[in-house]
Structure 1
């Protein structure tokens, strides 16, 4: 009995640690990208290419081990659409990191779940409900407080993380559609294989800069940490329910603030805190609503 309780405790604990580890890894990735673009002058398109190309090299043994069986698909069009949406999101995210401080970028990209809610309604006809509409309105209001477009010194580059959030939301919706017929290995593998050539074309359009010195090592680190972060993210969702691990994902906000402060001396402005609090609160409201819906569905299934 004790051994059973110990194992049942270990899985949620491992999931929580994996989610925190993923958040820390992504924060370091963002710091490396900001240093290589904002400070060392690497074009954002080249930085994005090298990040994922080097990440693919790290993941190559796994790709080769899976072999051609993982490439069997009946949804090649959806895989291509997912890759295009992901590439645009990545390019806008890295371009945003080259323009705005990391604390602002990470808070704004956290509006992605609210774009998912709108997309699920528009494209899948899902029932949203008053709670989610309220959370979506609140989330975007928090983003507006952080952006403060009414200020004279407003930089339109600050909109790039919001645009990245919208395209990543599209990626999530396509992924949801793919999971109905495709296995997780194929979905991951196609994204890895399709991202690199598209990123390469975009990088070549801006001269295809090959980084050297400190910039090269920063992007090598970003590539390795990108693979590690995605592995930890997958592990977290394997070991526990999404409702349990999702609150730990919000730790990426203070983790990114810490990286920005210690690496660059960036400190959030006064308007950031109320805006970020509204975004996080709205995200938690969506999560609680999802839990209630899942409980109702389980209860209805048990009665049937």
Structure 2
């Protein structure tokens, strides 16, 4: 749960930097450059951890599938983010816990109590109260953002299926490589612009934050029960509120403040609600 919260903080900070740079650089170019910084950093970290000798494991089908989901999710989500208010895009992306909970029930046979369903729904309601998305903003780009959310959910579910012997740092590296290659291919049809030192600095910082977020997200999805870990994505909203205040001077209104209380309360409720054991063949026979 702490890893998920940390990942969300890193991702929101990364989104802020990338959205800012997108005002002066094409999307494909900035995603590619950010990816290069991430690959360099992750390769160095993997080498220091002694994980590079296991590099052939990146060719495993599930690792490749996860990297593919993440690469397309990144391009789809960021493309929509550049055309939507960050609050609206964040609200749409916060539907991921609900999708993951459904996947956990259907595919992993995790049993989710009515109370946990209620807490997750309350958390999502709190998100909507905080961001207060306007109807006018939900256009074609919002639909694209929802597609990115579905891809993110597929990525997180696939993470659970990867053999535990594959180091998380290598899974993180595979994602960075896939995103960078896809962005580079996308950029072949666009004219690339000269990059100044300030833009490079912001993209380098975004690359570090993205790498941290990737790694922590992988750790959280491999170690925790999906229906419990997923709602802690909501913690990223608190980071977004802080960054909004520090960068743009945004202050939550009454509805937003109510949403924050509801959001935090729902997270605490999920954390303290006892886990419902999965059904066993014996249970089924008893029925």
**TM-score tier after normalising by the smaller chain length:** 0.7 to 0.9
Q: Which residue of structure 1 lines up, in the alignment, with residue 195 of structure 2?
A: 211
C-alpha spacing 1:133/1:237, structure 2 compared with 1 (3 Å): closer
What SS does the aligned partner of 1:99 have?
Answer: coil
Between the aligned partners of 2:30 and 2:119, the Cα distance in structure 1 is: 34
Post-superposition offset of 1:116: 0.6
1:67 pairs with one of 52, 67, 70: 52
Between the aligned partners of 1:125 and 1:235, the Cα distance in structure 2 is: 21
2:177 pairs with one of 179, 193, 201: 193
1:267-304, Cα deviation, whole Å (9 max, x unpaired): 55666555565555555544444x4337999xxxxxxx
Q: Which residue of structure 1 lines up, in the alignment, with residue 244 of structure 2?
A: 260
- Superposition RMSD in Å: 4.2
Moved more, 82-91 or 114-123: 114-123
Contact 2:39 2:173 in 1 (8 A): no
C-alpha spacing 1:188/1:225, structure 2 compared with 1 (3 Å): closer
Contact 2:116 2:270 in 1 (8 A): yes
Between the aligned partners of 2:179 and 2:193, the Cα distance in structure 1 is: 18
Between the aligned partners of 1:147 and 1:163, the Cα distance in structure 2 is: 21
Moved more, 200-209 or 77-86: 200-209
Contact 1:92 1:164 in 2 (8 A): yes
Contact 1:31 1:260 in 2 (8 A): no
2:149 pairs with one of 144, 165, 169: 165
Q: Which residue of structure 2 lines up, in the alignment, with residue 7 of structure 1?
A: none
Between the aligned partners of 2:63 and 2:172, the Cα distance in structure 1 is: 10
Report the TM-score when normalising by structure 1. Answer: 0.69
Moved more, 81-90 or 263-272: 263-272
What SS does the aligned partner of 1:72 have?
Answer: helix
Q: Which residue of structure 1 lines up, in the alignment, with residue 284 of structure 2?
A: none
Between the aligned partners of 2:132 and 2:18, the Cα distance in structure 1 is: 21
C-alpha spacing 1:77/1:269, structure 2 compared with 1 (3 Å): farther
1:85-144, Cα deviation, whole Å (9 max, x unpaired): 111221233223312333443344232111111223344454444344444554555566
Q: Which residue of structure 2 lines up, in the alignment, with residue 112 of structure 1?
A: 96
Structure 1, unaligned stretches of length 5 or more? 1-14, 298-304
Between the aligned partners of 1:269 and 1:158, the Cα distance in structure 2 is: 24
Contact 1:45 1:95 in 2 (8 A): no
Between the aligned partners of 2:8 and 2:109, the Cα distance in structure 1 is: 32
2:64 pairs with one of 80, 96, 117: 80
Report the TM-score when normalising by structure 2. Answer: 0.72
Q: Which residue of structure 1 lines up, in the alignment, with residue 34 of structure 2?
A: 51
Post-superposition offset of 1:32: 0.7
Post-superposition offset of 1:61: 1.8
Between the aligned partners of 1:285 and 1:137, the Cα distance in structure 2 is: 12
Between the aligned partners of 1:167 and 1:90, the Cα distance in structure 2 is: 9
1:41-79, Cα deviation, whole Å (9 max, x unpaired): 323333322222211112222344533423236x72222
Q: Which residue of structure 2 lines up, in the alignment, with residue 26 of structure 1?
A: 11
Between the aligned partners of 1:253 and 1:285, the Cα distance in structure 2 is: 17
1:230-269 matches, within 5 Å, as 230=214, 250-266=234-250
Contact 1:27 1:256 in 2 (8 A): yes
Between the aligned partners of 2:246 and 2:103, the Cα distance in structure 1 is: 37
Is 1:293 the equivalent of 2:279? no
What SS does the aligned partner of 1:293 have?
Answer: coil
